[in-house]
Amino acid sequence: MRRWLPWTALVAVVAVAIGVAITRSEPSSDPEARARRLERELTCPVCTGESIAESNAPEARAIRADIRDRIAAGQSDAQIRQAYVDAYGERLVLKPGSDGIGLVAWGLPVVALVGGAAVIAVALRRWSAQPRLAASADDEDVVRHARVRGRA
Amino acid sequence: MSRRVRVGALAVAAVIVVLGVVLALNVENAPTDEGGWVGRPAPSFAVETLDGERITAADLRGRVVLINFWNTWCIPCIEEAPALKKLHAAYGDDPGFVMLGIVRDEPGGESLVRRYVADEGVGWTIAMDDDLKASLAWGVTGQPETYVIAPDGTVASELRGAATFEHLEQMLAAAEGVA
């Protein structure tokens, strides 16, 4: 029982940590928090590499105001995102889509991870099957003499 | 080169080729995202004209509508103004045709636009888009941008950059093809 105590404590700590992380990462439904989240998800249509949240271009300022108007009008985050995609295209969304090139962006890290794990697994298997160093004839002699001395 | 190395190199090459094809296909589709309104219903928008009249997309249904986003400081807008004037002179009296100029990103404000309209003899309807709501609805990223809406509310043609009279006539012809 005492042997399992540290493991039980560890499992409890990990479970609590995961629970806290999940709770804290749940998106807030507060209008201002939603607006700020959407501003970070959308890229400024007339800038290079700046989100709506970061840019001070007139279009970005207008979109910031428009997002708040849409939230106040009762639109969901998905409806707001879609309105900008309808007007500007998928390029406005910083998060990759679930089809086309977006699928590559999502899939490539998974493929790389699985491929990398497979390569490491194969390499480990091969290394463990082979001796680290091949014994020379002199090494064999040393071992043989040691064994003979041991029997004597 | 061992067989294993050759197979590995071929696998890497295959992955690069597949990625290249995917990227090339994406580049080919890119112009659809740049505007991409043709064939789609015109977005809903509302603007207030210099005469104080509120115009919405719904008000314009049943007519061929040319919408031109512009402002007074944009050089290509000034360059295309004669073509717009010629178009208005040719078709402005047609009750089935509306020309609407929407002014965006105008630091000089409405008073400067009024002066410009009077000085240059702009005869078509002009509206201000101070909050850029109409620009956002259309996905406008600069000026001039011109769109033609067919009577059924479908976008028939679009053009980013300065239009010539020939461009504008082709754009109207596309709307008549849709109607």
Q: What is the pLDDT of residues A29-78, one digit of tens each?
A: 899 999 999 999 999 999 988 999 999 999 999 999 999 999 999 999 99
Q: Does B71 lie in the same domain as B5? A: no
Q: What's residue B11's pLDDT? A: 76
pTM higher than 0.80:
no
Chain A contact for B38 (CB, 8 A cutoff):
no
Q: Does A140 lie in the same domain as A80? A: no
Q: Does B155 lie in the same domain as B126? A: yes
- Residue recorded with tokens 């400024």: A44
Mean pLDDT, residues B158-170 taken together: 95
Give which of A76, A75, A94, A73 is closest to A85, Cα–Cα: A94
Mean pLDDT, residues A3-32 taken together: 81
Domain that holds residue B9: 1-33
Q: Does B60 lie in the same domain as B134? A: yes
Report the number of distinct structural domains present in chain B: 2
Q: Are strands B125-128 and B97-103 parallel, antiparallel or unpaired?
A: parallel
Sheet with B97-103, edge to edge strand ranges: B54-56, B46-49, B125-128, B97-103, B64-70, B145-149, B155-160
Round to whole Å and give the CA distance between B146 and B136. 14
Mean pLDDT, residues B57-71 taken together: 96
Distance of CA A14 to the CA centre of its chain: 19
Q: Would B162 be classed as within a structural domain?
A: yes
Residues 6+ apart with CB under 8 A from B154: B39, B40, B41, B42, B178
**How far B166 CA sits from the closest chain A CA (Å)?**
27
Phi and psi at B117, nearest 5°, equal -60, -40
- The tokens describing A5, both together, are 């105590």
- Name the region of B147 (left: φ>0; alpha: ψ -120 to 50; beta: rest): beta
Of the listed ranges B8-17, B71-80, B130-139, the least confidently predicted one is B8-17
Residues 6+ apart with CB under 8 A from B178: B150, B152, B154, B156
Q: What's residue A21's pLDDT? A: 76
Q: Would B40 be classed as within a structural domain?
A: no
Q: Does A114 lie in the same domain as A80? A: no
- The tokens describing A15, both together, are 């479970």
Q: Does B98 lie in the same domain as B155? A: yes
Q: What's residue A108's pLDDT? A: 86
Q: Is the pLDDT of residue B33 over 80?
A: no
Give which of A127, A126, A143 is closest to A135, Cα–Cα: A143
Domain that holds residue A137: 101-151
- The tokens describing B82, both together, are 């004669």
Q: Does B90 lie in the same domain as B119? A: yes
Percent of chain A with pLDDT over 70: 91
Phi and psi at A2, nearest 5°, equal -65, -30
Q: What's residue B28's pLDDT? A: 41
Query: Angle formed by the axes of helices A101-129 and B3-33, to 10°?
Result: 170
Round to whole Å and give the CA distance between B136 and B45. 9
Q: State the pLDDT confidence band at A152, using cuts at 50, 70 and 90.
A: low
Q: Does B70 lie in the same domain as B136? A: yes
Report the number of distinct structural domains present in chain A: 2
Question: How many other CB atoms sit within 10 Å of the CB of residue A140?
Answer: 10
Q: Is the pLDDT of residue B29 over 60?
A: no
Q: Does B50 lie in the same domain as B26? A: no
Of A92, A111, A139, which closes a domain?
A: A92
Kindly list the residues from chain B whose CB atom is less than 8 angstroms away from the CB atom of residue A86: 43, 139
Round to whole Å and give the CA distance between B129 and A63. 13
Q: Does B58 lie in the same domain as B19? A: no
**How far B58 CA sits from the closest chain A CA (Å)?**
18
Chain A contact for B20 (CB, 8 A cutoff):
no
Q: Would B62 be classed as within a structural domain?
A: yes
Q: State the pLDDT confidence band at A149, using cuts at 50, 70 and 90.
A: confident
Q: Does A126 lie in the same domain as A86? A: no
Q: Using CB atoms, which residue from B19, B131, B137 is nearest to A65?
A: B131
Q: Does B166 lie in the same domain as B91? A: yes
**How far B40 CA sits from the closest chain A CA (Å)?**
10
* Burial (CB count within 10 angstroms: exposed 0-12, middle 13-18, buried 19+), residue B38: middle
Q: What's residue A1's pLDDT? A: 66
Q: Does A39 lie in the same domain as A16? A: yes
Q: What's residue A90's pLDDT? A: 86
Kindly list the residues from chain B whose CB atom is less than 8 angstroms away from the CB atom of residue A87: 43, 136-139
User: For the domain that residue A39 is a member of, what is the CATH number?
Assistant: 1.10.8.640
Mean pLDDT, residues B164-170 taken together: 96
Of the listed ranges A30-44, A124-138, B48-62, the least confidently predicted one is A124-138
Q: Does A79 lie in the same domain as A34? A: yes
Q: Is the pLDDT of residue B129 over 90?
A: yes
Q: Does B102 lie in the same domain as B29? A: no
Question: How many other CB atoms sit within 10 Å of the CB of residue B81?
Answer: 19
Task: Give the residue numbers in A contacting B (CB under 8 Å), as ranges.
Answer: 45-46, 58-59, 62-63, 65-66, 84, 86-91, 100-101, 104
Q: Does A61 lie in the same domain as A10? A: yes
- This complex has an ipTM of 0.72
Q: Does B96 lie in the same domain as B15? A: no
Average pLDDT over all residues of chain A: 87
Of the listed ranges A101-115, B49-63, B122-136, the least confidently predicted one is A101-115
Q: Does A69 lie in the same domain as A29? A: yes
Q: Can you give the length of chain B in residues?
A: 179
Q: Would B143 be classed as within a structural domain?
A: yes
Q: Does B99 lie in the same domain as B18? A: no
